[in-house]
Structure 1
Amino acid sequence: MKNSSRGGDLKRLALSVMAASAVTILPTHVSAQESLNLYNWGDYINPEVLTRFTAETGIEVTLDTYGSNEEMLAKLQAGAKGYDIIFPSVHMQDVMAHLGMLEKTDINQYTGFSHVDPAFLTATTDPKGEYCLPYAWGSVGIVYNKKLAGKVTSWKDFFALTEKGQKVTMLDDMRETLGVGLIMNGNSVNSTDPDELKAAAAFLEPYKQGIAAFTYDSIPMVQSGDIAAAHWYVGAMMYVTQAPDTLDYVIPAEGATKYQENMCVLKTAPNKENAIRFLEFFTQPEIAALNTAQQMNGTANKDAIELLPDALKNNPNVNPAADTMSRLQMFTDLGKGLRLYDRVWTRFKTSQ
């Protein structure tokens, strides 16, 4: 929710749900002895998880939200204070680790860590789980309006819509969007080869006229029929289940990216003990399952999967088969190679 779910519409949804659940949401944070301040993706945590944590511990939880890894990092580097826990994607966790921003929690020594699938210890800076708790994962594929788009199974189908005069949107995310071009050319989404990146942009170029926007706020447009399809996160399944006759989500046949978010404690956290208590609380399979059942993304807690409703546990988009998983690629920290993406992305977006 990368939900996975991201974007402004999801931020608004998260805020309204959180308010209804009596969880305090404040634009700024004041440190208190029994408080915990989270900074998370737009709607990437079930409000009931937070109310249960407060009921069990007496620790009051506040939540602020962000729409991208870059937004989160920029705010922290600009001097934002008071946050205890953040939820970076794995490649951003590695970036923040190199910047010395993360606290060593030794969460891997906690008994509940045994519920975590070792396959999700994917951060190169934290291969044992000494710093962060693997949290959630999902794919980034296509959500579409069936009444406009018909059946969509691939990126080929997605781009063909633009050739038929239909409108689509893609994420305002250079790595995700250029990643589609890389995938379609048979290249790694972590390529730093200048020619491969230029070719990725060149693949996308002919379809730009049909791309209505590069945005995170695509769901309302797909729901209303203003666009036929959107490049978006598996968290779209929340909306698909509400309108199955109109909406659907697919992991494209050619492959896609996948994201994994981890739960990390900041070195500057004012409430480190409370933050570690929250990580320990979240290792419980029933709590991880509670979050996943509402968020409709994947979980890193292997014992939580059996607690999910069958409709979710057996959903091929949420828990894909092995052959689908083999076609999903996850971003890594590119270091200085990211500058090349910046240049190619800027040139692509500003070209006529």
Structure 2
Amino acid sequence: MNMLAKFGCAGVMAVSFAGAVQAEGGLNLYNWGDYINPGILKKFTEETGIEVNLDTYSSNEEMLAKLQAGATGYDIVFPSVHMQDIMSKLDLLLQTDINQSAGFANIDPLSLRAKSDPEGVFCLPYAFGTVGIYYKPEITGEITGWEDFFAIPEKTGGRITLLDDMREVLAIGHVMNGTSVNSVDPAEITAAQDYVLKQRPNVSAFTYDVPGLIATDDIAAAQYFIGMHVLTSNMENVKYVIPKEGGTLYQENMCVLKSAPNAENAKAFMEFYLRPEIAAMNVEQQFNGTPNIPARDLASYYIRNNTNITLPDETYERLQTFEDLGRGLRLYDRAWNTIRTAQ
């Protein structure tokens, strides 16, 4: 998942980060672009005196590659669930025992999705959302799922885009074929690839620049993250749908690195984020779901009653979450290369 994509572009943050991490005794976050409310960082500093530095990345792979290349000084990272499992295998994460903190009782047990951390001993569930379809109904008509989505160019002449994301794009093929988005069966992966290849002529681009393209009518519909609601909530001519055939649920968790220079400050920030009013601040600014159950009740009426953000049980039944594929990832790399190079 690419979080620059979630909100269109990296906005101006209230707390910035430049160059090497230096703030000794501070707190150094490495997060997805625009994936935390700047007001949260400001409030934490006001209450604790701990200065917060923020650096951002645009993909799980970028974050991991930077750490493996020797980047040091970061305290907290925000990996997706499957990346947390990978980082756990690599012994990169600190056991924080955050689940022993009183506020952990606020966390929905269903959000403990990491296979490497089923009790929340290491990381704190942070935020979740879906990947679905944004569309302009005046061009496309009503869209209910992937079949409608891929028919748009031929039926209306409107342009469509997919994410420049291997797992998310191949997930569509799996969903439409009735197979798991985490399958490592070569035949099932090839079938998912072939489904996408069949749609490839109607796809204008693989891109994260969806907010800009849809705002200027360059595209009629796109595969994208729910977080764009922060940009489109006041735009009557843009709608979002979780595909009826199925889709993906992403979740990021807040994890402290084993190499963290400010581990105590990092644990303090995790406990700060356990407070419902703090988690609710993120929901209001990000338009994502929160694992913090009391925080859901503090959200605005629009968010509490938006079934694309606050998901009903029946919606969960058609959503899948990515898992660590191990060596099977190489099969996806090959399939993705075939899709991206197809003419």
Partner Cα distance (2:224, 2:281) in 1: 23
CA contact (8 A) 2:7 2:227 kept: no
**Closer, same or farther: CA 9–312 of 1 in aligned 2, 3 Å:** closer
CA contact (8 A) 2:133 2:242 kept: yes
CA contact (8 A) 2:98 2:271 kept: yes
CA contact (8 A) 1:94 1:333 kept: yes
* Corresponding residue of 1:222: 214
Aligned length: 342
CA contact (8 A) 2:171 2:192 kept: yes
Summarize deviations over 1:209-248 as a string: whole Å, max 9, x none. 22121122211101111011111101011122131x2211
Choose from 325, 328, 348 the match for 2:319.
328
Structure 1 position 6, deviation (Å): 3.2
CA contact (8 A) 2:8 2:208 kept: no
CA contact (8 A) 1:168 1:212 kept: yes
For the residue of structure 1 that corresponds to 2:92, the secondary structure is coil
- After superposition, residues 4-23 of structure 1 pair within 5 angstroms as 5-7=3-5, 10-13=8-11, 16=12, 18=13, 21=14, 23=15
**Closer, same or farther: CA 291–307 of 1 in aligned 2, 3 Å:** same
RMSD over aligned Cα atoms: 1.4
Structure 1 position 28, deviation (Å): 2.7
Q: Give the alignment's TM-score, normalised by structure 1.
A: 0.94
Aligned letter for 2:238? L
**Closer, same or farther: CA 216–27 of 1 in aligned 2, 3 Å:** farther
Partner Cα distance (1:75, 1:224) in 2: 35
**Closer, same or farther: CA 121–137 of 1 in aligned 2, 3 Å:** same
Partner Cα distance (1:163, 1:218) in 2: 20
* Corresponding residue of 1:102: 93
For the residue of structure 2 that corresponds to 1:12, the secondary structure is coil
Summarize deviations over 1:154-205 as a string: whole Å, max 9, x none. 1111101132332111111111100011001111101111111111111111
1:188 aligns with 2:180: yes
Structure 1 runs of 4+ aligned residues shifted over 3 Å read 8-11
For the residue of structure 1 that corresponds to 2:10, the secondary structure is helix
* Corresponding residue of 2:110: 119
The percentage of counterpart residues that share the same residue type is 53
Partner Cα distance (1:341, 1:196) in 2: 11
- After superposition, residues 1-352 of structure 1 pair within 5 angstroms as 2=1, 5-7=3-5, 10-13=8-11, 16=12, 18=13, 21=14, 23-33=15-25, 35-164=26-155, 165-243=157-235, 245-352=236-343
Partner Cα distance (2:141, 2:228) in 1: 17
State which drifts further: 287-296 or 214-223: 214-223
**Closer, same or farther: CA 210–28 of 1 in aligned 2, 3 Å:** farther
Partner Cα distance (1:54, 1:155) in 2: 45
Partner Cα distance (1:156, 1:27) in 2: 46
Partner Cα distance (1:25, 1:242) in 2: 31
Q: Give the alignment's TM-score, normalised by structure 2.
A: 0.96
Unaligned runs of 5+ in 2: none
State which drifts further: 195-204 or 257-266: 195-204
Structure 1 position 269, deviation (Å): 1.1
For the residue of structure 1 that corresponds to 2:293, the secondary structure is coil
State which drifts further: 204-213 or 121-130: 204-213
Structure 1 position 9, deviation (Å): 6.4
Structure 1 position 351, deviation (Å): 2.2
Partner Cα distance (1:183, 1:218) in 2: 22
Partner Cα distance (2:187, 2:152) in 1: 27
